[in-house]
Amino acid sequence: MTQQFHDQPLAAAALDQIFNEARSYNGWLDKDISEAQLEAIYDLLKMAPTSANMQSLRIVWVKSTEAKQKLADCVMQGNKSKVLTAPASAIICYDMDFHEELPWLFPHADAKSWFEGNEEFRVESAFRNSSLQGAYLILAARALGLDCGPLSGFDSDAVQQAFLSDQPRHRVNFICCIGYGDPESIFDRSPRPDFDKFNLIV
Ligand SMILES: Cc1cc2nc3c(=O)[nH]c(=O)nc-3n(C[C@H](O)[C@H](O)[C@H](O)COP(=O)(O)O)c2cc1C
């Protein structure tokens, strides 16, 4: 296959949709999203890079009314209505035994052996890469015309018990509500730092 060169910036409208004008939503328009849209998000995010292509992200998609109620019982008071009314919420998890999949995910090296017998390294790698993939999920959803509301205000043990009892090697990272954001639900944009504030070119 010929590798295409993509060496031009995206159109300004695309950058606005993904970054400059995209917001974190606290409320949702009454407009459902389909399972096909959830799959489309995954099919984009999985193409973005992870260490040794480990793909340590595991997602539980909360879509049914029953599952939304179960999730609402696990989140902080201020986040309950968000997960109850969002068309879908992604529980962003990581697999501490992701290395078992490396023989097919990274076939040109024996990457599985790099992680065997070193659980601390595995957990650090799984968490790092699932965080990256969670961020890719937000950008993929926005690129597809959807909005996100990420949440870390929840009881991890409760989520673990409610959704991951059959996956003891999976851990929760964060939750991301997805849908069409209600513009009435956002606060004024918080300040963002200028380049000089937190950057150093050496
Ligand atoms: C990992 C993560 C966890 C967050 N947790 C919560 C949360 O529990 N509750 C909440 O209301 N907002 C939460 N937020 C939303 C942030 O406050 C919001 O993204 C940030 O203020 C930037 O807002 P903006 O994207 O609209 O500019 C979270 C965001 C991220 C990325």
Domain ranges for the chain, please list them.
25-182
Pocket of ligand 1 (CB under 6 A): 23-24, 26, 79, 150-153, 174, 186, 189-190
Q: Which atom of ligand 1 is nearest to the CA of 187?
A: 26
Q: Tens-digit pLDDT profile for the chain (202 aa)?
A: 678 899 999 999 999 999 999 999 999 999 999 999 999 999 999 999 999 999 999 999 999 999 999 999 999 999 999 999 999 999 999 999 999 999 999 999 999 999 999 999 999 999 999 999 999 999 999 999 999 999 999 999 999 999 999 999 999 999 999 999 999 999 999 999 999 999 999 9
39 CB-side CA count, 13 A: 3
Which of these, 98, 167, 163, lies nearest to 133 by C-alpha position?
98
Q: In the prediction, which pLDDT does 20 show?
A: 98
The atom of ligand 1 lying closest to the CA of 190 is 27
pTM of the model: 0.98
d(Cα 27, Cα 179) in Å, to the nearest integer? 9
CA-proximal residue: ligand 1, atom 20 (nearest): 24
Closest approach atom of ligand 1 to CA 149: 15
Spell 85-108 as b/e; 16+ CB within 10 A means b. bbbbbbbbbbbbebbebbeebbee
* CB-CB contact of 147 with 178 (8 Å): yes
User: Which CATH architecture describes the domain 25-182?
Assistant: 3-Layer(aba) Sandwich (3.40)
Which of 180, 188, 159, 187 shows the shortest CA–CA distance to 85?
Answer: 180
Pick from 116, 14, 94: nearest CA to 50: 94
Distance of CA 162 from the midpoint of ligand 1 (Å): 23
Out of 17, 148, 152, 173, mutate this one to test ligand 1's pocket (max ligand atoms within 8 Å of CB): namely 152
